[in-house]
């Protein structure tokens, strides 16, 4: 064999082996799911990351099928794991073709902060203006444009005080008179705490959320205190953190919280999540959102509970969800089927019946004004609290692009103070410096 022939033949072989390996790959291409050809019915994909909203699929699937039948299209509804939805969505968006057309996420973050959502068409937007409860506007209407509306599984209007009337009676407190100010909250908690012989808490007066994991957990749980003292995590209007995150109000709020865990020791940092604590009778009071109305009877049927507004600090304004928990469907702004997607949402998600049915299934609060007149809402035991929240909302929404990073850093400071590793002032001062750097970067 002469060298010349061998080189040519060698090249042939060098191509043959990789080609042989891509044959299975090409076979795979012939496999199902080729959707891009526009002949034939269009396919809409919806990804739901709000897996806590168990009613979404139950309610939406039949409606979606009806809509699909009358529109010569098909709709695919998929639940994606909440725990990694950011990864999955980011990967999908980076390869445009595989991105979903509609995705149910925290609207304020993905639409406002990340800017990946399509604004609503005008007609639908006008309908939203008329039909959605006003208090929700700052969460879903960003910079004057509507991007989304609540998906019927969102935890607005924000946290409420949930307390156990039996425990109140046990220690001589009147269940009809829950604490109305923050200092009262502390006093009540002191009375309600039960300890065992060694001084360890067996039943906390108040369940202070301690979450070693995602920042959003404890951030939201500190925010009620923060906002009732007039503080802010950062200033969304000016994008500043120095002076805001460590303002005297913020320090006062954090200081107050440390009373619960460190000084008076009425909150146990050893027990689990507040809702589990409350259900297990390991805590008598907690801040949790309105969906407890449905969740507690489902999971802890024996526990009695009542609702009250968040106690007043230096202001009586209530926090809403502050853009950190405002779930709703968004439309992908580069989707070739945007108009179809909006039509779908218009006819299915954004109808009063979808809204009401989802809420009823999970114990959530509906978003459409007309649904507030329904028996379901009027019969809720926290109806008066909801009304209070509606009229006392402070309307602040955190929509900076780096909200995740900022809230993680802020939560770190909160945790440090709650655990006694740093004084509130030190923790917040350092957090403010770091957050300022994040905001500037």
Near another protein in 283-312, by CB under 8 A = 291, 295, 299-300
Distance of CA 400 to the CA centre of its chain: 16
Q: Is 262 left (phi over 0), alpha (psi -120 to 50) or beta?
A: alpha
Q: Binding segment for another protein among 76-84, 225-233, 242-250, 390-398 (CB under 8 A)?
A: 76-84
CB of 279 to another protein, least distance (A): 7
> Which residues 177-236 are close enough to bind another protein by CB under 8 A?
210-214
> Does residue 263 touch another protein according to CB under 8 A?
no
Q: Binding segment for another protein among 4-12, 228-236, 365-373, 388-396 (CB under 8 A)?
A: 4-12
Calpha distance 156→135 (Å, rounded): 9
Single out the residue of 40, 61, 69, 78 in contact with another protein (rule: CB under 8 A): 78
> Does residue 176 touch another protein according to CB under 8 A?
no
CB of 289 to another protein, least distance (A): 9
Single out the residue of 2, 4, 24, 130 in contact with another protein (rule: CB under 8 A): 24
Q: Binding segment for another protein among 71-79, 130-138, 343-351, 387-395 (CB under 8 A)?
A: 71-79
- Residues pairing with 74 in the sheet: 43
> Does residue 353 touch another protein according to CB under 8 A?
no
> Which residues 317-346 are close enough to bind another protein by CB under 8 A?
325
Stretch (H or E) spanning 285: strand 283-289
Q: What angle do CA 299, 103, 34 make, to 5 degrees?
A: 120
Closer residue to another protein in complex, CB, 203/312: 203
Distance of CA 391 to the CA centre of its chain: 22
Place of tokens 């399509």: 118
Single out the residue of 82, 123, 126, 381 in contact with another protein (rule: CB under 8 A): 82
Torsion of CA 90, 113, 365, 319, to 10 degrees: 140
CB of 276 to another protein, least distance (A): 5
Calpha distance 104→247 (Å, rounded): 35
Report strand pairing: 42-48 vs 102-106: parallel
- C-alpha torsion sign, points 126, 128, 131, 133: negative
> Does residue 381 touch another protein according to CB under 8 A?
no
Calpha distance 24→134 (Å, rounded): 56
CB of 308 to another protein, least distance (A): 21
CB of 46 to another protein, least distance (A): 11
- Contact pattern for another protein over residues 396 through 415, marking x by CB under 8 A: -----xx-xx--x---x--x
> Does residue 81 touch another protein according to CB under 8 A?
yes
Number of residues in contact with another protein, rule: CB under 8 A?
81
Closer residue to another protein in complex, CB, 22/381: 22
Single out the residue of 241, 282, 358, 389 in contact with another protein (rule: CB under 8 A): 282
Place of tokens 């980076």: 94
- C-alpha torsion sign, points 109, 113, 118, 124: positive
Stretch (H or E) spanning 252: helix 248-258
């Amino acid at each position: 064999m002469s060298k010349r022939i061998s080189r040519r033949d060698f090249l042939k072989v060098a191509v043959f082996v990789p080609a042989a390996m891509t044959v299975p790959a090409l076979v795979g291409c012939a496999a199902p799911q080729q959707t891009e050809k526009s002949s034939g019915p269009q396919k809409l994909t919806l990804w739901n990351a709000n897996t806590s909203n168990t009613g979404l699929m139950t309610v939406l699937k039949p409606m979606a099928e009806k809509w699909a039948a009358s529109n010569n299209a098909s709709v695919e509804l998929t639940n994606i794991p909440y725990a990694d939805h950011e990864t999955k969505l980011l990967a999908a968006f980076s390869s445009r073709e595989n991105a979903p057309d509609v995705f149910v996420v925290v609207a304020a973050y993905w639409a406002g902060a990340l800017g990946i959502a399509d604004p609503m068409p005008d007609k639908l937007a006008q309908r939203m203006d008329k039909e959605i409860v006003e208090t929700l506007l700052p969460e879903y209407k960003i910079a004057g444009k509507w991007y989304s509306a609540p998906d019927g599984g969102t935890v607005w209007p924000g946290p409420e005080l949930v307390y156990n009337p039996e425990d109140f009676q046990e220690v001589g407190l009147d269940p009809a008179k829950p604490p109305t100010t923050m200092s009262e909250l502390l006093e009540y908690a002191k009375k309600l705490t039960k300890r065992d012989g060694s001084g360890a808490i067996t039943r906390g007066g108040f369940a202070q959320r301690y979450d070693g994991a995602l920042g959003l957990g404890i951030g939201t749980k500190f925010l009620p205190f923060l906002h009732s003292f007039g503080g802010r995590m950062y200033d969304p209007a000016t994008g500043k953190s120095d002076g805001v995150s460590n303002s005297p109000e913020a320090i006062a709020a954090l200081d107050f919280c440390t009373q619960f865990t460190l000084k008076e020791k009425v909150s146990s940092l050893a027990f689990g999540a507040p809702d589990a604590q409350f259900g297990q009778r390991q805590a008598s009071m907690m801040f949790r959102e309105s969906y407890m109305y449905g969740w507690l009877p489902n999971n802890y049927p024996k526990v009695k509970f009542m609702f009250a507004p968040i106690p007043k600090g230096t202001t009586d304004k209530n926090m809403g969800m502050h853009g950190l928990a405002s779930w709703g469907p968004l439309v992908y702004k580069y989707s070739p089927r945007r108009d179809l997607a909006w039509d779908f949402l218009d006819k299915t998600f954004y109808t009063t019946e979808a809204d009401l049915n989802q809420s009823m299934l999970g114990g959530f609060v509906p978003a459409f004004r007309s649904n507030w007149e329904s028996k379901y809402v009027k019969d809720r035991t926290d109806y008066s609290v909801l009304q209070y929240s509606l009229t006392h909302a402070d309307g602040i929404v955190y929509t900076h692009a780096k909200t995740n990073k900022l809230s993680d850093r802020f939560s770190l400071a909160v945790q440090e103070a709650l655990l006694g590793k740093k004084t509130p002032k030190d923790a917040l001062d350092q957090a403010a410096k770091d957050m300022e750097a994040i905001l500037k970067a």
